[in-house]
Structure formats: C-alpha cells, structure tokens
Amino acid sequence: MKKLALIILPSLAVLLGIFVGSYPTNPLHLTEGAVKIIWDIRLPRTLMGISAGIALSLGGMTLQAVFRNPLVDTYILGVSSGVALGAAIAVAFLPFAGVAPLALLFGLLAVFLAYWMARINGRVSTVSLILAGIVVTALFSALLSLLELLLPSESLSALVVWLMGSISGATWDWVAYSLPGVLLLAFLLFLLRWNLNAMSLGDEAELLGLNVHLWRGIFVFISALMTTLVVSFTGIIGWVGLMVPHIARMLVGPEHSSLIPATVSIGITVMVLADVVVRLLPGNVPVGIITTLVGVPFFGYLLRKTGGGWS
C-alpha cells in the first residue's frame, strides 16, 4: 500500500502542476492557448519542481546519513550563503555572466572551503565539518551584506526576491541544465546505497572495511553538487531537505534501498504541490516562503522528538 501511494502521489502532483493555475485549462479539451501555456510555462515549471524536489530531498537525506543527525541539510555546509553571494556578485558586477553560473560556482566554493577548513591531519570529522560550515556561512553572509549596501534599490529588491526561492520563472533552459544532472546524481546515490547504509553507522563503518573519511567527502560533494544545480537557478528554497527525508524514514525505515525511492517520491510531491499552492495565491509569492512556513513547525517537532540526535 505504501509503495502504491509513493507512485500515485507524485503522479497526481505532476498532473496538478501541469493543469492547475490562474489560467483555466481543461485536460479533456485543450485550446491552442492552453497548450501554449502548458508547454511554455507550466511544463518547465513542473519539471523544475521535480528537479528541486529530488535534489533538495536527496541532498538532505545524504547528509543526514553522513552526519547521523536528522536535523541537518545541505545548507549547513554553506551552500545557501555561497549561492547568495554568487548571485549578488553577478547582479552587482557581472550581469553579463548570468546569475546561475556564478551562484553555482560560489555554492560549490563554499562547500570546498568548508571541507578544506575541516580537514585536520588528513581527516575530516563530523563536528569539524559542521563547525567549518558555520564559519563559511558567516563569512559569505557578511560579504553578501556588504554587497547589498552597494547595490541600487532596484537591483537589491530583485536579489532579495530571488533569494526567497522561486520556480515561477522556470524555462526549458533551466530544466536542461538542472534535471539531467540531478537525475544522474540520484542514480549514482542509488548505486552507492550500501556505502550510504554503512556511513549511517558512523565511524564504526571502518569495521566493515569502508574508508569513512574518503566516502564522507564523496557524499558531501554529491549532496552539494545536486543542491547547487537547483538553487543556482531557483534561489534558496529552504526546509525541503530537512522535512522530506525524515517523513520518508518514518514511512519506509532507514535502509537506503527503500529510503532513496521514497525520498524522491515525497520530494517531488511536496515541491510540485507547494508550487501549485503558490500559483493559486494572489501576487507572486516565492515558493520558498511556503516551504519555510511548513518546515519551521516540522523542525520544532523533530527537535522535540529527537533532541537533536539520530533516531
């Protein structure tokens, strides 16, 4: 029954993403205008929602296994501050370069910097990596604040809205640059599911012959790359990587052969439905606001249930 639900729910969400919006479209009688709206606007927007749902959810799931803590996601390593700083630099100084490439570059730079900082005597511990992520986030956030002071009001407003996270401006180019890479990395994670199971044991995985420090770096990189492939286009969509893996874990358990498909299914459902809700609200509300409004109380629930530890 659970497996059937995990197939039906994302399928229904995708159908709603294609046919629901401010402009009425009847799937049984599509006019020429409706077809154009679906093809030019709703289909790339829905596909980008699929990409975001998969990337943010699997990115969070991966780091939760690596850190053995249900209260972490990819943003803890400085991805969000890196992406934000890259976008601000593009807006302020390099508009010809485009926001997405620089956001992607600085998002990955933040993670590499955190990993380099946490590497002590050739080893990277979980605690040092988290602390390094906090330091990098603080540094990049300070640089972002400095740039915001230099931006004219119109550019600053556009940057602030972008940072709230939205897929409303999704194009086929977004999909082409994001979705294939996300799907490839998701498939790679599934191939490495046994290693991820072992990593969830912590340093005890070394007893199984696994090089914990090497695989920790590999999984951190996969998670970071997957996340930046999305947020470099959409801006910061928060809390999905925290909520979805935990919901999936409650439904199917911690074994990654089942957890990865369940996380993908729920991630797609949550992200596409959140975007459908945004379309029905007045004004152009960023989808990141919706995921945050849902995610904050869920985080409070997790904190009270787990006490901040692995469960």
For residues 302 and 76, the model is more confident at 76
Contact 87, 103 (CB under 8 A): yes
Contact 114, 126 (CB under 8 A): no
Structure tokens at 309: 């530890």
Distance from C-alpha of 31 to C-alpha of 252, rounded to nearest angstrom: 42
Domain boundaries, the chain: 2-306
Amino acid found at 99: V
Most confident of 38-47, 85-94, 111-120: 38-47
Alpha helices in 151-192 (DSSP H): 153-163, 172-191
Q: Is pLDDT at 309 greater than 70 in this prediction? A: no
Q: What is the mean pLDDT of the chain?
A: 89
**Rounded percentage of the chain residues whose pLDDT exceeds 70:** 97
pLDDT digits (tens, 9 = 90+) for 217-232: 899 999 999 999 999 9
Q: Is pLDDT at 45 greater than 90 in this prediction? A: yes
Q: What is the pLDDT of residue 69?
A: 79
Contact 114, 132 (CB under 8 A): yes
Distance from C-alpha of 68 to C-alpha of 64, rounded to nearest angstrom: 5
For the chain, helix (H) and strand (E) counts, in that order, are 13, 2
Contact 47, 179 (CB under 8 A): yes
Q: What is the CATH number of domain 2-306?
A: 1.10.3470.10
Assign 3-class secondary structure to 48-110: HHHHHHHHHHHHHHHHHHHHCCCCCCHHHHCHHHHHHHHHHHHHHCCHHHCHHHHHHHHHHHH
Q: Is pLDDT at 40 greater than 80 in this prediction? A: yes
Only one residue has tokens 């409706």, namely 34
pLDDT digits (tens, 9 = 90+) for 90-136: 988 887 788 899 999 999 999 999 989 988 887 777 788 889 999 99
pLDDT digits (tens, 9 = 90+) for 177-187: 999 999 999 99
pTM across the whole model: 0.92
